[in-house]
Structure 1
Amino acid sequence: MYRAEFIKHRGAVRIAVYFKNDAQLIARFKKLQGAKWSASLKVWHLPNTSDYRKRFRLEETNNLVANPINEAHEKAKDDFYLWLKSKRYSKSTIKTYTEALKIFLLFYIDKDLQQLTNADVIYFNNEYILKNKLSSSYQNQIVNAIKLFFGTVQRKKIVIEHIHRPKKEKTLPNVLSREEVKAILEAHTNIKHKAMLSLIYACGLRRSELLNLSPTHLDSKRGVLLIKEAKGKKDRIAPISEKILILLRNYYRTYKPTKWLFEGQLIGEKYSEKSLENVLKQALTKAKIIKPVSLHWLRHSYATHLLENGTDLRYIQELLGRKSSRTTEIYTHVSTKSIKNIKSPFDDL
């Protein structure tokens, strides 16, 4: 079973098709000409052609096609973008919030902004978020955008204090064993690839933090790495060992980076996120690790291994650049240092 409807995506009317998250169905859908996946809308979509309209039994008189642009909504989104920019939010945050608001307003494309109420937010959560089986974290992004927009740019009927957030799943961070980390970091012979993955683990970096490093951020005399304008626009430092410094010196002599510590094919061009993800994928293949490891797993593993080595949680919080100690305490649930000392009653049977 599937459900199809018109959507407006990047200024064009497209046909969104909602169906079960099944590998075979996705493979079949991808073979359709013009089929694309929208990471922001979380849906597969197709060009708005007569053949596809007939195939998915859609009428061209659909409201979204007849009135694809709500000028008041467009202006509101532009005002929100400018407000976020003036507040110096990061580019990624601005993109996330504006895309989230766009989805909410698109859902109510025929409704006046001034008439939107808290009941409309609840209806949206049920009819869009839950019906399409979207995650609570994605719902939380939408809530953040709605609360910020209606609390600043659009002060109208919606009472932001009454907008509820989804209940968070209590998931544990994914952690690799030290042996698995070593296998991943030693998989590449290319020194740039080895240096990038090693530095993420050695200093507990986020992907963006690694790619935003410049050669001047390395202070070998003090043995620290300066991480500029990380999440929340906060600077922090992380200790960097002589072992990783030796690797980075060898890398520097080979590649001689200028503006960014890790540059792309062109001098002065930042290494891309997609290329970095491919570097990890190749390392996993070479290390014969079949787990769905992401770059963030290395950061989680860094924190967990520090804890198992006896590092105080307060220091780990500072090293990770975390605001709250609660988010750092979760690593106590995945550390095996104390758990291994617990004897199961099964052993006494």
Structure 2
Amino acid sequence: MTESLCIAAISPLRQRLLDDMAVRRFSRETQRNYLRDVGRFATFLGRSPHTATVEDVRQFQIAQNAAGMPTPTMNAIVSALRFFFTQTLDRPDLARKLVRVAQPRNLPVVLSRDEVARLLNATVCLKHQAALSVAYGAGLRVAEVAALKISDIDSERMLLRVERGKGGRYRNAMLPADLLPLLREWWKAGRSRA
């Protein structure tokens, strides 16, 4: 028995948006988010977004604000629509009318030297202490710490090579002087077990 596969037709406008994002090598996640946000705008309009007017854009943003949309989400929608209007539709007049919402930035909580020392001393495993020390001392993310290799440590220049960090980017991080002996101790402990 043969099953017929029903594939929904993609509108030419949606396909053009997909092509524009693919050419610019947007990640799958970004493409998914942009499609969702442009779809949200089209649903609000009740018609194809290529027929949008400046007043439609204005009313959409007012409705999003009235619905209690969080600031980061509203700004993500602005990014998606700006791309859509400028690149896909070639309507920069609409993109200029989009307003980003200012988001207050709070200062992060910074631990005192005593609090950091207590945190690091609370670990009983040398591996955990080394990982926490690298994360805190060099400002690395968890995935970056987990991916570190011995070849990533440049003890002459006191740098850590971070490969494929956030956004798939490579970067160097400063290696604090008091962290190198701890990493060497962890390396020796790891070699003695092998």
TM-score by length of 2: 0.71
Higher helix share: 2
Report how far residue 211 of structure 1 moved: 4.7
Aligned to 2:23: 83
Q: Secondary structure at the match of 2:96?
A: helix
**Residue 121 (structure 1) aligned with residue 60 (structure 2):** no
> Which structure 2 residues correspond to residues 331-342 of structure 1 after superposition, within 5 A?
none
Aligned to 1:102: 35
User: 1:224, 1:238 within 8 Å by CA — same for their partners in 2?
Assistant: yes
Report how far residue 228 of structure 1 moved: 4.2
Report how far residue 70 of structure 1 moved: 7.7
User: 1:228, 1:234 within 8 Å by CA — same for their partners in 2?
Assistant: yes
Counterpart pick for 2:129 among 158, 180, 194:
194
Q: 1:219 to 1:163 in 2, by over 3 A?
A: same
Q: Secondary structure at the match of 1:225?
A: strand
TM-score by length of 1: 0.43
Q: Structure 1: which 5+ residue stretches go unaligned? A: 1-68, 257-349
Aligned to 2:3: none
C-alpha distance in 1 between matches for 2:58 and 2:10: 24
C-alpha distance in 1 between matches for 2:96 and 2:149: 42
**Residue 166 (structure 1) aligned with residue 101 (structure 2):** yes
Q: Secondary structure at the match of 2:85?
A: helix
Report how far residue 179 of structure 1 moved: 1.9
Report how far residue 140 of structure 1 moved: 1.6
Q: 1:220 to 1:103 in 2, by over 3 A?
A: same
> Which structure 2 residues correspond to residues 179-328 of structure 1 after superposition, within 5 A?
179-207=114-142, 209-228=144-163, 230=165, 235-253=170-188
C-alpha distance in 2 between matches for 1:130 and 1:100: 21
Q: 1:77 to 1:216 in 2, by over 3 A?
A: farther
Q: Secondary structure at the match of 1:222?
A: coil
C-alpha distance in 2 between matches for 1:211 and 1:125: 42
**Residue 149 (structure 1) aligned with residue 84 (structure 2):** yes
User: 1:185, 1:197 within 8 Å by CA — same for their partners in 2?
Assistant: yes
- Percent of matched pairs sharing the same residue: 25
Aligned residues: 180
Instruction: Indicate the RMSD between aligned Cα atoms, in angstroms.
Output: 3.2
Q: 1:225 to 1:122 in 2, by over 3 A?
A: same
Q: Secondary structure at the match of 1:226?
A: strand
Higher strand share: 1
> Aligned letter for 1:194?
Q
C-alpha distance in 1 between matches for 2:123 and 2:189: 16
User: 1:77, 1:101 within 8 Å by CA — same for their partners in 2?
Assistant: no
Q: Secondary structure at the match of 2:69?
A: coil
> Aligned letter for 1:116?
A
